[in-house]
């Protein structure tokens, strides 16, 4: 891709097939306790095409009143399950100077789902990177600069790929244009899971 923002690091194939299968097994356990829910946009109540859940001390949620991080699941009211150790190990490897991640957002894309261009700015600090893990069908990912409407570039994220968004890229506009159906055999029902690890509060 021509113009990737400074601070975007792609690690293709960071998780091999066995590690991907182990992660999916972890996620099945997490989603049994913290089921996927379909958020709605603030004000408009338009449903997301993506379903979501979280693990970690804090989880990202959206409802008609706005976006926020909270300690409990919006439907069950119970605390989010813990972040799997393999993901904490990944964070320590790629973000050795950052404090521990507090949130792991789980996005599930059916093959028709997408995510419009947006910035991630609901955290109290942008010092730590966002770390993304892709599982299942390949996605076409689009990233631009820190202002809306500038030049963008797009590339594919395949199962097992990791993206680290630090530096300038931390506040870059980004989105998912499409999922390529049937591109992976990892998830029995197809589709794509994206995990994003985040630091939300300033380190104490």
Contacting positions for ligand MD3 (CB under 6 A): 105, 107, 115, 120, 130, 132, 139, 143, 163, 165, 169-170, 172, 174, 176, 194, 196
Given the rule CB under 5 A, which of 4-12, 118-126, 151-159, 179-187 is the region that contacts Fe ion?
A: 118-126
Least separation in angstroms between CB 107 and Fe ion: 9
> Whose CA is closest to 39, among 112, 99, 101, 106?
106
Rank residues 80 and 204 by Cβ distance to ligand MD3 and give the closer one: 80
197, 131 Cβ separation under 8 angstroms: yes
> Whose CA is closest to 37, among 106, 103, 104, 87?
106
Least separation in angstroms between CB 165 and ligand MD3: 4
Least separation in angstroms between CB 173 and ligand MD3: 7
- If one asks whether residue 102 binds Fe ion (CB under 5 A), the answer comes out as no
Where is 33: in which H helix or E strand?
Answer: helix 17-33
Residue 96: other Cβ atoms inside 10 A: 7
| Position among 102, 120, 137, 161 found at the interface with Fe ion (CB under 5 A) | 120
Least separation in angstroms between CB 139 and ligand MD3: 6
94, 9 Cβ separation under 8 angstroms: yes
Least separation in angstroms between CB 27 and Fe ion: 19
71, 45 Cβ separation under 8 angstroms: no
140, 161 Cβ separation under 8 angstroms: no
For the segment 61-80, give every residue that binds Fe ion (CB under 5 A): none
**Which partner in Fe ion, ligand MD3, none is near 159 (CB below 5 to 8 A by kind)?**
none
Rank residues 102 and 120 by Cβ distance to Fe ion and give the closer one: 120
Beta-bridged to residue 195, according to DSSP, are: 106, 133
Rank residues 79 and 125 by Cβ distance to Fe ion and give the closer one: 125
* Residue 136 vs residues 54, 79, 143, 184, 198: alpha-carbon distances, Å: 18, 27, 20, 5, 21
**Which partner in ligand MD3, Fe ion, none is near 163 (CB below 5 to 8 A by kind)?**
ligand MD3
Beta-bridged to residue 135, according to DSSP, are: 193
Rank residues 119 and 201 by Cβ distance to ligand MD3 and give the closer one: 119
């Amino acid at each position: 891709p021509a113009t990737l923002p400074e601070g975007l690091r792609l690690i293709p194939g960071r998780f091999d097939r066995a590690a991907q299968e182990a992660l999916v097994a972890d996620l099945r356990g997490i989603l049994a306790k913290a089921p996927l829910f379909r958020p709605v946009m603030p004000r408009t109540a338009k449903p997301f095409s993506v379903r979501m859940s979280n693990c970690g001390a804090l989880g990202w949620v959206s409802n008609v009143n706005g976006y926020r991080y909270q300690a409990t699941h919006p439907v069950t009211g119970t605390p989010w399950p813990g972040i799997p150790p393999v993901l904490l190990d990944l964070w320590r490897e790629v973000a050795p100077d950052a404090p521990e991640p507090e949130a792991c957002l789980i996005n599930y894309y059916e093959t028709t789902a997408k995510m419009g261009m947006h910035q991630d700015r609901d955290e109290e600090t942008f010092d730590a990177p966002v770390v993304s893990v892709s599982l299942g069908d390949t996605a076409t990912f689009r990233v631009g600069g820190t202002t809306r409407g500038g030049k963008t570039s797009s590339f594919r994220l395949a199962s097992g790929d990791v993206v680290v968004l630090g530096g300038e890229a931390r506040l870059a506009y980004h989105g998912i244009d499409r999922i390529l159906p049937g591109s992976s055999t990892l998830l029995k029902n197809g589709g794509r899971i994206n995990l994003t690890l985040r630091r939300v509060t300033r380190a104490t």
